[in-house]
Chain A
Amino acid sequence: MADTISQIRAAFHRKSYLFFLGPSLIIMGSLTLYPMVYGIKLSLTRYNLVRPWIPKTFVGLKNFTDFFSDEYLVKSLWVTFKFAMGTVALQVFIGLLVALVLHQILKKTSLLRFMVLLPMLIVPVVTGIIWRLILNDTYGVLNWIIQWLGIAPQLWLGPDLALITVIIVETWAWLPFSILLFSLGLSSIPEQYYEAAAIDGAGPWRTFFTITLPNLRWTLFIVLVFKFSDALKAFDTIYTLTGGGPGIATRALALYVQNRGFTDFEIGYAMALSILVLTISFIIIGPFISRLDKQYE
Chain B
Amino acid sequence: MKSKVNIKTVSYYATLGILVIFFLMPAYMAVVTALKQPGDITLPTSWDLPATLNWASFSEAFAMLRPNLVNSFILTICATAGSTILGSLNGYVFSKWKFKGSEIIFTLFLFGMFIPYQVILIPLFQTLRAMNLYGGLPGLILAHIVYGLPITSLIFRNFYAQIPDSLIESARLDGAGFFSVYLKLVFPLSIPGFVVTSLWQFTQIWNEFLWAITLTRHSENPITVGLANLAGGQAVSWNLPMAGSIMAALPVLCIYIFLGRYFIRGLLAGSVKE
Chain A residues engaging chain B, CB cutoff 8 angstroms: 13, 16-17, 19-21, 23-25, 27-28, 30-32, 34-36, 38-39, 42, 97-98, 101-102, 104-105, 112, 114-116, 118-119, 121-134, 138-141, 143-144, 172, 229, 232-233, 235-236, 239-240, 254, 257-258, 261-262, 267, 270-271, 274-275, 277-278, 281-282, 285, 289, 296
A30, A31, A42 interface centre (most CB from chain B within 10 Å): A31
Q: Are A129 and B231 in contact (CB under 8 A)?
A: yes
From residue 91 to 143 of chain B, which have CB atoms closer than 8 A to chain A?
92-93, 97, 99, 105, 109-110, 112, 114-127, 131, 142-143
Q: Are B248 and A126 in contact (CB under 8 A)?
A: yes
Q: Are B92 and A20 in contact (CB under 8 A)?
A: yes
Instruction: Kindly list the 4 A-B residue pairs having the minimum CB-CB distance in the complex, ordered from nearest.
Output: A35-B123, A39-B123, A20-B89, A16-B178
Question: Is the C-beta of B197 less than 8 angstroms from some C-beta in chain A?
Answer: no
Given contacts A16-B177, A232-B116, contact A125 B248 (CB under 8 A): yes
Q: Are A267 and B127 in contact (CB under 8 A)?
A: no
Q: Are A101 and B29 in contact (CB under 8 A)?
A: no
Question: Is the C-beta of B33 less than 8 angstroms from some C-beta in chain A?
Answer: yes
Give the residue name and chain of the A residue nearest to B32 (CB).
Answer: A141
Q: Are B146 and A130 in contact (CB under 8 A)?
A: no
> Which of B15, B42, B118, B209 sits near A125, CB closer than 8 Å?
B209
Q: Please measure, in the bound complex, the distance between the C-alpha atom of A50 and the C-alpha atom of B90, giving whole angstroms.
A: 41
Q: Please measure, in the bound complex, the distance between the C-alpha atom of A127 and the C-alpha atom of B97, giving whole angstroms.
A: 44
Residues in A with CB closer than 8 Å to B149 are: 24, 28
Q: Are A104 and B238 in contact (CB under 8 A)?
A: no
Count chain B residues whose beta carbon lies closer than 8 angstroms to a beta carbon of A: 81
Question: Is the C-beta of B22 less than 8 angstroms from some C-beta in chain A?
Answer: yes
Q: Are B177 and A13 in contact (CB under 8 A)?
A: yes
> Which of A32, A138, A233, A254 sits near B146, CB closer than 8 Å?
A32
Give the residue name and chain of the B residue nearest to A169 (CB).
Answer: B26
Q: Are A36 and B29 in contact (CB under 8 A)?
A: no
From residue 223 to 259 of chain B, which have CB atoms closer than 8 A to chain A?
223-224, 227-228, 231, 238, 241-242, 245, 248-249, 252-253, 256-257
Query: Closest CB-CB distance, B150 to chain A, in whole Å?
Result: 9
Residues in A with CB closer than 8 Å to B127 are: 30-31, 34-35, 38
Query: Closest CB-CB distance, B217 to chain A, in whole Å?
Result: 13
Residues in B with CB closer than 8 Å to A281 are: 114, 116, 119
Q: Please measure, in the bound complex, the distance between the C-alpha atom of A244 and the C-alpha atom of B13, giving whole angstroms.
A: 37
Give the residue name and chain of the A residue nearest to B90 (CB).
Answer: A24
> Which of B15, B41, B231, B256 sits near A121, CB closer than 8 Å?
B256
Q: Are B46 and A267 in contact (CB under 8 A)?
A: no
Residues in B with CB closer than 8 Å to A123 are: 206-207, 223-224, 227, 245, 248-249, 252
Chain B residues engaging chain A, CB cutoff 8 angstroms: 9, 12-13, 15-16, 19-20, 22-27, 29-30, 33, 41-44, 46-47, 86, 89-90, 92-93, 97, 99, 105, 109-110, 112, 114-127, 131, 142-143, 145-147, 149, 153, 177-179, 182, 203, 206-207, 209-210, 214, 223-224, 227-228, 231, 238, 241-242, 245, 248-249, 252-253, 256-257, 273
Q: Please measure, in the bound complex, the distance between the C-alpha atom of A179 and the C-alpha atom of B149, giving whole angstroms.
A: 28
Q: Are B93 and A277 in contact (CB under 8 A)?
A: no
> Which of B20, B43, B178 sits near A112, CB closer than 8 Å?
B20
Residues in A with CB closer than 8 Å to B116 are: 229, 232-233, 254, 277-278, 281
Q: Please measure, in the bound complex, the distance between the C-alpha atom of A258 and the C-alpha atom of B119, giving whole angstroms.
A: 10
> Which of A21, A24, A126, A277 sits near B227, CB closer than 8 Å?
A126
Q: Are B214 and A262 in contact (CB under 8 A)?
A: yes
Q: How many A-B residue pairs have CB under 8 A?
A: 223
Q: Are B90 and A20 in contact (CB under 8 A)?
A: yes
| A interface SS class | helix
Query: Closest CB-CB distance, A119 to chain B, in whole Å?
Result: 6
Given contacts A17-B178, A121-B256, A281-B114, contact A112 B209 (CB under 8 A): no
Instruction: Name 20 interchain pairs, CB-CB below 8 A, sorted by A.
Output: A13-B177, A24-B90, A25-B105, A27-B142, A28-B146, A32-B112, A36-B120, A122-B252, A126-B245, A126-B249, A130-B27, A134-B29, A229-B116, A232-B116, A239-B209, A240-B228, A254-B116, A261-B121, A277-B118, A281-B114
Residues in B with CB closer than 8 Å to A20 are: 89-90, 92-93, 97, 178, 182
Q: Are A133 and B105 in contact (CB under 8 A)?
A: no
Q: Please measure, in the bound complex, the distance between the C-alpha atom of A172 and the C-alpha atom of B12, giving whole angstroms.
A: 20
Q: Please measure, in the bound complex, the distance between the C-alpha atom of A27 and the C-alpha atom of B26, giving whole angstroms.
A: 41
Residues in A with CB closer than 8 Å to B242 are: 129-130, 133
Q: Are B253 and A121 in contact (CB under 8 A)?
A: yes
Residues in A with CB closer than 8 Å to B97 are: 17, 20
Q: Please measure, in the bound complex, the distance between the C-alpha atom of A114 and the C-alpha atom of B254, giving whole angstroms.
A: 12
Q: Are B23 and A118 in contact (CB under 8 A)?
A: yes
Given contacts A97-B15, A98-B19, A105-B12, contact A39 B122 (CB under 8 A): yes
Q: Are B122 and A122 in contact (CB under 8 A)?
A: no
Give the residue name and chain of the B residue nearest to A104 (CB).
Answer: B12
Give the residue name and chain of the A residue nearest to B88 (CB).
Answer: A20
Q: Are B24 and A130 in contact (CB under 8 A)?
A: no
Given contacts A13-B178, A126-B227, contact A133 B29 (CB under 8 A): yes
Q: Please measure, in the bound complex, the distance between the C-alpha atom of A126 and the C-alpha atom of B42, giving whole angstroms.
A: 21
Q: Please measure, in the bound complex, the distance between the C-alpha atom of A19 and the C-alpha atom of B92, giving whole angstroms.
A: 12
Q: Are A258 and B114 in contact (CB under 8 A)?
A: no
